[in-house]
Amino acid sequence: MTTKRNVLVTGATGQQGGAVAHALLSRGHHVKALTRKPDSDTARRLASAGAEVVAGDLGDATSVLKAANDVDTMFLMGNSYEAGVEAETRQGILAADAAKVAGVGHLIYSSVADADKKTGIPHFESKYLVEKHVAGLGISYTISAPVAFMENIVAPWSIAALRQGTHAFAMPPKRVLQLVAAADIGAFVAALVERREQVFGRRFDFAGDELSGEEQVKILSQAIGRPINYQEIPLAAARQQSEDVALMFEWFDRVGYDVDITALQRDFPEVSWHSFADWARKFDWSILEQTAST
């Protein structure tokens, strides 16, 4: 029988943190959901699902310490897109220090796959700096490092083109990329929480599928029920939006993630891993019928 844990989840109203919170709740764990927006609709849904919603900010060590004082496990993640890479590192270190002071028995830090391999991508490097700090704190920790999210297909920067029948991405159409569903991130972190001592001091890169843009649009066309075309965004256009993101796409094309998916799924059978086709079949594509203003 699995020990029921008391888990503090940071970023709980975001996509990844929310998936972790819901996965833990579904398995009977107590979740304390840390959010800067406790009155938001997302926070209310978490509360309705059984989470204890608490106000806090990773930039405010006192609020993190207060939230972490009576938990045995903490899931820590930052957001470089909101905070910027320097603030993400600073906040991650502050929060990890708070976890140590609070006596949290297991800190799970969410990084990104291959952040430990000198990628030169700013928002990978910012997470790796936090990883190194966590590893040196002298507390029990695990690094959870997902690849790119399947949900990026319907992210704010992608959805307008998809509504027009185009999956636009800054990679060659035949280049393979590893992806993971947000639900699998939640389930994987729940597995780390439950395995506890077995995963102390370990780093896990994880993915659910790997396929090219051409393969993705075939699956999307079938799932959505109308033709979706692949369009390669020129790297120069991506660079105009963000140098950080352009460097990531260059790395995707030159190196890319390298998770051994077969071994991973063998080692973590308790996670119901989604292929991209599984994810696309389950996704509610009515989102494409909504106007951009809704």
For 248-284, the DSSP string reads: HHHHHHHT-----HHHHHHH-TTS-PPPHHHHHHHS-
| 107 against 292, higher pLDDT | 107
Tokens of 33: 């959901």
pLDDT, tens digit, for every residue of 46-65?
Answer: 999 999 999 999 989 999 99
Phi (first) and psi of residue 99, to 5 degrees: -60, -40
Is the Cβ–Cβ distance between 274 and 207 less than 8 Å?
A: no
CA distance 144 to 110: 5
pLDDT, tens digit, for every residue of 9-37?
Answer: 999 999 999 999 999 999 999 999 999 88
Which of these, 134, 115, 135, lies nearest to 126 by C-alpha position? 115
pLDDT, tens digit, for every residue of 130-148?
Answer: 999 999 999 999 999 999 9
Average pLDDT of every residue of the chain:
94
* 2 — pLDDT class (breaks 50, 70, 90): confident
pLDDT, tens digit, for every residue of 146-164?
Answer: 999 999 999 998 999 999 9
Give pLDDT, residue 294. Answer: 41
Give pLDDT, residue 291. Answer: 61
